[in-house]
Amino acid sequence: MQGQAAGHGMDHVLRVLRSARLIQAQAGGDLEVIELAALLHDVGDAKFHDGVERSAEFAREILSGLGASEKLIEHVAHIVDNISFRKGDRASALSLEGKIVQDADRLDALGAIGIVRTIEYGAAFGQPFYLPDADGVKTGIGHFHEKLFKLKDLLNTDAARQMAEQRESFMQSFLDQFMRECGLSI
């Protein structure tokens, strides 16, 4: 994952780990499970495996190879298999630990980091950030409205919701400024 340049590399994983620890300090939960799930949550992301989500499979392999207990392996695998935004209503219910990792992952899509990740992803996959007449073409600006501005309302913990407030506000200010600079009214 280290060389991955579409906003899902090790820098992302380490930020999710850091945020998960901050949320756990307020919300509780098993820190070992949270840390392992945060570290492994994108190891087999579908975006990089021909549309097939393989994080649970890879997490099982890695943790088994490290001698983890079956209970720990299955808890972490369940979390990484059910936290993605894309899974939506098809996701199984999450434990407290899963909710914390999901919140940490979603927080990393917001704020200044979220803006940079949106641009990185678009550049890696040939997606423009803005088109005056997008006409069904996926754009970075569209991504803000299709996903990012929905995330705050989907967060599970009070700690994450508090962290999201300022990040969402910053993104909105950025988009307002961007549109003004493009000569468009808001």
pLDDT number for residue 101: 97
Binned at pLDDT 50, 70 and 90, residue 118 comes out as very high
DSSP string over 4-54: --SS-SHHHHHHHHHHHHHHHHHH---HHHHHHHHHHTTTT-GGGTTT---
> What confidence tens digit (pLDDT) does each residue in 142-156 have?
999 999 999 999 999
Burial class (CB in 10 A: 0-12, 13-18, 19+), 75: buried
Is it the case that residue 86 has pLDDT exceeding 80?
A: no
> Which backbone phi and psi does 42 adopt, to 5 degrees?
-115, 10
Q: Phi, psi at residue 183, to the nearest 5°?
A: 80, 20
Residues 6+ apart with CB under 8 A from 149: 168, 171, 172
Total-model pTM: 0.89
Structure tokens at 167: 């990040």
Q: Nearest-CA neighbor of 105 among 75, 173, 113? A: 113
Closest C-alpha among 38, 163, 148 to residue 100? 38
* pLDDT at residue 50 is higher than 70: no
The model's confidence at residue 14, banded by pLDDT at 50, 70 and 90, is very high
